[in-house]
Every structure is written in C-alpha cells, then in structure tokens.
C-alpha cells in the first residue's frame, strides 16, 4: 500500500480537523478525495507529508511509518502539488519545473541529463512545452497551473498528491488533467487528488474517499461512495445521473440543494 492512514486524528490548536481517519491510496489507482469546504482534505495530504503533526493513529508511506522516513527520502517518494500553487517569482516555466528535481540533486550539483529529460517529459505531458521558455508572469492562470503540475510530475515520485489541481483549468484541460492522472496511475504511481467537481471525481477516479468534518463518510468505488444518500448527507445536494451511451460510468451532475 503506497499511503495508509490508520485511525489518524489531528487538530489545529483545539479544533479537530481529522478524527479517526482510516484511508488508503493504493498504487496504480487514482483516488479522489471529495468533501465540503473544511472537511479535512488538505489536512489529510499534509499528514501524509509530515507537514502536520498527528495526535493519534499512524501514517505509513510505502509500508514504512512516517517518522522513519528521512526528509530527502520522503521528498523523492511523494510529489505534492499544494492548493492554489503559484510562483512567487516570475521564473522561466522550464526552470520552475526544474524545481521538481530538487529531491534528486546533491547540494550544489547542477541539473543532469536525467533531470533535463524528466523536466522536458513533464512539460510535454502537461501540454506546456511550447511555452517552456516563457516567464511565469507571461502565462495565463490555466497555463501556469499546467506548468506547476508539470513541476510535480518532474519529481517522478511513486506517490502523487494533488490538491485541487483542476481549479483554474478550462474543460478541455480538466479532462486532459484527469487523463494525465490516469496515465500516472497506469505507470504504477499512487495518485490522490482532491476535487470539488463531483462530475470529474465520479467519472475519472478508481476510488473515492468522502470526507466530512474530519471523518471518513464513505470510501470505495465512485458509484457506492457517491450514492444519493451520501450526497444528501454530506453535501446536502441531490444529483442527476445520465447514462453513458458508450457504456461507461453514468455521469453525475449536482442538481439541486436539499
């Protein structure tokens, strides 16, 4: 199991943000994490990265307990794309993607051919190579989001955690993003992604973890985890289901507020 949370609890000060969360991000699968605002989706990622102290329970990364990981080893194992990522300086897009290679580089070593190939490949896969030479402040929000995603891919880690990567993308690039996540998973990567868009989550994820006020409210295949009962209970909505004429999963569209 790539990432395993075992009855994990955590709090910001006195406010509990995760209570007894047990969840898994298996390798080779895309795990979608959904839940209302403040449900603890980001905190779950932060707990996996060791950025957040847990008060009880255990987190295992690649079957090794989190405290046993070295800083560098963990950085090579998990690529993390935080929510609302942006570049604070207008670096050239390619140089920004190059930051994803930091965990693989010795101190003061310059980029190797392996690094450059990983950078170029990440740019190509994110459909961003054509503006690799441009500065970040000369790109649109959607283009920047693709470059930042390429930065996470460039690390080539066995685990990829992406927090709301679809937020600034147009529909075509949202679908491209989900394909990319699928590609990553088919290479054996454990992919976990938080999504507000339930339609994307239900159609493109292998399994869904539904978080509600810091607790797991459902976990499993999209049809089961995003059942009408779960949607009503957790999100307070009802959804419309449209069958896929091609025989795939039915589309889920949030329809009315209950």
Footprint of another protein on this chain (CB under 8 A)? 46, 49, 51, 71-72, 74-76, 78-82, 85-92, 94-96, 99-100, 102-103, 107-108, 113, 116-117, 120, 124, 129, 133, 135, 148, 151, 155
Rounded least distance, CB 9 to another protein, Å: 21
| CB contact set of 87 (below 8 Å; sequence gap of 6+) | 96, 136, 144, 148
**For another protein, the closer CB: 103 or 214:** 103
**Can you list the alpha helix ranges (DSSP code H) found in 54-186?**
71-77, 93-98, 113-125, 141-154, 171-186
Taking the CA atoms of residue 65, residue 71, residue 76 and residue 77 in that order, the dihedral angle to the nearest 10 degrees is: 20
Q: CA–CA separation, 231 vs 98, rounded Å?
A: 40
Q: Considering Cα of 182, then 190, then 215, then 15, what sign does the dihedral take?
A: negative
Rounded least distance, CB 226 to another protein, Å: 29
**For another protein, the closer CB: 184 or 212:** 184
**For another protein, the closer CB: 108 or 229:** 108
**For another protein, the closer CB: 49 or 209:** 49
Rounded least distance, CB 82 to another protein, Å: 5
**For another protein, the closer CB: 32 or 82:** 82
Rounded least distance, CB 72 to another protein, Å: 5
**For another protein, the closer CB: 72 or 244:** 72
Rounded least distance, CB 124 to another protein, Å: 6
Q: Considering Cα of 11, then 162, then 174, then 182, what sign does the dihedral take?
A: negative
Q: Which DSSP symbol is given to 135?
A: B
Angle between the 113-125 and 141-154 helix axes, to the nearest 10 degrees?
Answer: 140
Q: CA–CA separation, 77 vs 88, rounded Å?
A: 25
Rounded least distance, CB 220 to another protein, Å: 28
């Amino acid at each position: 199991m790539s990432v395993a949370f075992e009855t994990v609890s955590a709090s910001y000060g006195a406010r509990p943000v995760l209570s007894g969360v047990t969840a898994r991000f298996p390798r080779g699968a895309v795990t979608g994490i959904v839940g209302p605002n403040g449900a603890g989706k980001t905190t779950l990622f932060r707990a996996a990265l060791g950025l957040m102290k847990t008060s009880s329970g255990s987190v295992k990364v690649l079957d090794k307990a989190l405290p046993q990981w070295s800083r560098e080893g963990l950085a090579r194992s998990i690529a993390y794309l935080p929510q609302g990522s942006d570049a604070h300086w207008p670096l050239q897009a390619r140089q920004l993607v190059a930051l994803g290679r930091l965990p693989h580089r010795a101190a003061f070593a310059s980029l190797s051919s392996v690094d450059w190939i990983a950078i170029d490949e990440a740019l190509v896969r994110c459909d961003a190579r054509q503006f690799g030479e441009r500065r970040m402040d000369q790109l649109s929000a959607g283009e920047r989001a693709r470059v930042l995603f390429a930065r996470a891919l460039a690390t080539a880690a066995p685990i990829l955690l992406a927090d709301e990567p679809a937020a600034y993308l147009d529909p075509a690039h949202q679908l491209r993003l989900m394909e990319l996540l699928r590609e990553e998973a088919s290479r054996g990567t454990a992919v976990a992604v938080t999504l507000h868009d339930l339609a994307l989550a239900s159609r493109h994820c292998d399994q869904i973890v539904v978080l509600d006020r810091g607790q797991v409210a459902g976990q499993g295949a999209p049809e089961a985890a995003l059942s009408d009962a779960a949607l009503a209970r957790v999100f307070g909505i009802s959804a419309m289901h449209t069958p896929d004429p091609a025989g795939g999963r039915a589309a889920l569209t949030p329809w009315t507020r209950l």
